């Protein structure tokens, strides 16, 4: 399933670039973390990880200088932290891959020979894979991320970390589009859904697990 989704995503990118006028390609890096609370209700203190995003979008003119911009993108998100257990420093890193569908409202007034880019809008993402990596005393161990809305007692026996598959939130960005169709863009993203699943038989779990980040990207408009 994951392989099919990735191949479909790659096919959409290539088709848009090769055959469709008006489409745009965008690729860049993300600085992402995970905010929220742990099972005891204490605030998470995670650091940021570096991820990537690559996607395609299409601009639909709705008024002078205003555009509706739906898109399709691949994004790598995550977080990291460092804790001490029994005098041993343990580094944890989580990476989760998503296919995202953003729908942005964009304003592009002219400035100089190019245009300013200002935009915002919602996105919906679906998890397609991920890893949790633990490092201590020069050794490392990886655990798969699996996607479930409700984790049963039987699931607890699996060697996996569970999160909900569906993510959603809001994007805000600004940038500049040069006259030769290349653009640079800075963005911020706020996840609004709690990705921590429901655990059967655990009514005291107060965990909240939300993506937050910002990034920079380059784009090309056909």
Looking at residue 9, what is its pLDDT?
52
Q: What is the tens place of the pLDDT at every residue in 136-188?
A: 888 888 999 999 999 887 877 777 889 999 999 999 999 999 999 999 999 99
Total domains in the chain come to 1
Q: Backbone dihedral region of 165: left (phi > 0), alpha (psi from -120 to 50 degrees) or beta?
A: alpha
**Per-residue DSSP letter, 155:** G
Domain interval for residue 194: 2-221
5 has a pLDDT exceeding 60:
no
The single residue listed with the structure tokens 């096919």 is 11
Percent of the chain scoring above 90 in pLDDT:
65
What predicted TM-score, i.e. pTM, was given to this entire model?
0.85
User: What CATH number does the domain containing 118 carry?
Assistant: 2.40.160.20
Distance (Å, rounded) from C-alpha 102 to C-alpha 168?
9
- What is the rounded average pLDDT of the residues 16-42? 80
Q: In angstroms, rounded to a whole number, what is the distance separating the alpha carbons of residues 59 and 76?
A: 24
pLDDT in tens, 107-139: 999 999 999 999 999 999 999 999 999 888 888
Alpha-carbon distances, residue 222 vs 9, 25, 127, 175 (angstroms): 19, 8, 29, 18
């Amino acid at each position: 399933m994951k392989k099919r989704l990735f191949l479909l995503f790659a096919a959409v990118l290539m088709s848009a670039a090769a055959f469709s006028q008006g489409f745009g390609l965008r690729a860049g890096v993300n600085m992402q973390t995970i905010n929220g609370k742990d099972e005891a209700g204490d605030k998470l203190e995670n650091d940021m990880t570096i991820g990537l995003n690559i996607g395609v979008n299409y601009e639909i003119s709705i008024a002078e200088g205003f555009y509706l911009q739906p898109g399709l993108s691949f994004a790598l998100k995550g977080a990291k932290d460092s804790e001490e257990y029994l005098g041993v420093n343990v580094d944890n890193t989580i990476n989760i891959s998503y296919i995202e569908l953003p729908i942005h409202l964009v304003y592009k007034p002219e400035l100089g020979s190019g245009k300013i880019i200002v935009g915002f809008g919602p996105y919906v993402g679906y998890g397609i894979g991920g890893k949790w990596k633990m490092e201590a005393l020069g050794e490392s161990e990886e655990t798969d991320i699996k996607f479930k809305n409700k984790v049963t007692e039987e699931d607890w026996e699996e060697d996996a970390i569970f999160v909900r598959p569906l993510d959603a939130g809001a994007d805000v960005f600004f940038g500049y589009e040069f006259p030769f169709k290349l653009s640079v863009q800075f963005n911020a993203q706020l996840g609004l859904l709690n990705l921590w699943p429901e655990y059967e038989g655990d009514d005291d779990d107060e965990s909240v697990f939300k993506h937050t980040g910002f990034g920079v990207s380059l784009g090309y408009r056909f």
